[in-house]
Amino acid sequence: MDFLNEFCTVREKNTINFPVIFEVLIWLFYVGFYKYSYLVDHAPLPVVGNAVFPYAQIGIYAVVSSLYLIPYYRWAVPRLLYVKRYLSLFLLTVVVFVFITTYNNIVVSWLFFQFTQHQPVGAFFDRESAGFFMDWNMIMTDFIAFLSIAFARFSYQNQRERHQIERDHLKLQLTMLKNQLQPHFLFNTLNSLYGMSLVGAKETPRFILLLSNMMQYILYDCDRPMVPIQGEVNFMEGYFELEQKKYPEASITLLMNKVPQELQVPPMLLLPLIENSFKHGRHKVENGAKVETELTIENNKLEFFIKNDKMPKTAFNKKTIPGGIGLVNIRKRLELYYPDRHTLLLTEDEHSYLARLTINL
């Protein structure tokens, strides 16, 4: 479960960079450069040679005169959008950009004039503080720039809340899957071991130990964020061996190449596909029926293939591709762990079901 927290935290950290960087870029390029250039171009000031920033005071003024908009776009707009008070947002926007902007510019210009009245740039601040001159071009660009920041912040907040909901929902699904698996798997296996003990099978102690190791893996190891692929492989081998023991006349095969020891994967990721095949396979009712599985990990790509013979169709068995919380769960987990890096295909023909999973690690 901790990996989900780490995973979503990483995604949130990556996402939070967008509104923050976007905000910085607006202040740097729009306020710091465009607004400064616009004010200098429209000010009755003499040209100063080839200086890049001949009137730095106007650049500082552009920044200071825009500070009043921070509460508007950082708090007011996202809050009103969140509670869906659109009329209040419209009225607030009108008040801010039509009235508050004007008085803000007058007050800030007057303060700057007090320190620059004996300099050439003082004439600019004197003119700005003298009356209610409204530059609609600047008002509209302010409106577009800072409202864009507000919408970016609101979108980020919604995305973070949606990720939190998805994370909580997935945790619940994982808990349900684990709670379903443990008693189902344990009781079926204990029944098989009970049958072995009745006939005095010599393999009974080994299978008891095997079951103990598998239950330890489910109960303890699977609570870790990520597990070594070898742990998953060992669990799969034990699962297949127990199933083969339960249905000795079935053809149950598991083929694997040498897996890289350093590879880490989410715990029980493949288990829903395996359990699905054993749950709906024909090997439970017909000798010689097959469950074929292959796991290949090469060139940083995991390919998993499992195929089982279909149950005979009856009046009570009309379902096509079997599914349930397990398959829904694996799709959700794949989207979170390997977004845009996986393919899961579930297909069927007249005689068999097939699941094929490919992951670019």
Q: How far apart are CA 102 and CA 85, in angstroms?
A: 25
In tens, the pLDDT along 125-178 reads 888 877 656 788 888 999 999 999 999 888 888 888 887 777 777 676 666 655
Give the pLDDT confidence score for residue 133 in this predicted structure: 65
pLDDT value of residue 11: 46
**Looking at the structure, do residues 128 and 210 belong to the same domain, yes or no?**
no
Q: Is residue 166 part of a domain?
A: no
Tokens of 77: 């707009």
| 181 within domain boundaries | no
Distance in angstroms (rounded) separating the CA atoms of residues 131 and 95: 18
* Residue range of the domain that includes 217: 202-360
Chosen domain end from 141, 160, 179: 160
78 within a domain of the structure (yes/no): yes
**How far, in Å, CA of 61 to CA of 128, rounded?**
11
Within-domain flag for 97: yes
Residue 167 lies in a domain: no
* Co-location of 332 and 230 in the same domain: yes
DSSP string spanning 321-350? S--SHHHHHHHHHHHHHSTTSEEEEEEE-S
pLDDT tens by residue, 318-331: 554 445 556 777 88
Which of 143, 160, 177 is a domain's end point? 160
Distance separating alpha carbons of residues 305 and 294, to the nearest angstrom: 5
Tell me: do 116 and 30 sit in the same domain: yes
220 and 323 share one domain: yes
Indicate whether 153 and 208 sit together in one domain.
no
219 and 297 fall within a common domain: yes
How many domains is the chain built from?
A: 2
pLDDT along the chain (361 residues), means of 10: 43 58 90 88 73 80 93 92 91 92 90 87 82 79 92 86 76 63 64 71 80 81 81 90 85 88 86 85 86 92 93 58 64 84 91 93 87
- pLDDT for the residue 12: 46
What one-character-per-residue DSSP string does 244-289 give? Answer: HHHSTTSEEEEEE-PPPTT-EE-TTSSHHHHHHHHHHBGGGTSTT-
| 245 assigned to some structural domain | yes
**Residue 92 resides in a domain:** yes
Identify the domain boundary among 160, 184, 219: 160
Query: 74: part of which helix (H) or strand (E)?
Result: none
Q: Which helix (H) or strand (E) holds 179?
A: helix 136-198
pLDDT of residue 215: 80
| Residue 353's CATH number | 3.30.565.10
Residue 207 and residue 310 in one domain: yes
Do 154 and 15 lie in one domain? The reply is yes
Q: Does residue 185 lie in a domain region?
A: no
Return d(Cα 234, Cα 63) in angstroms, integer: 63
The pLDDT of residue 179 is 60
User: pTM for the whole thing?
Assistant: 0.53
The tokens of 161 are what?
């809340």
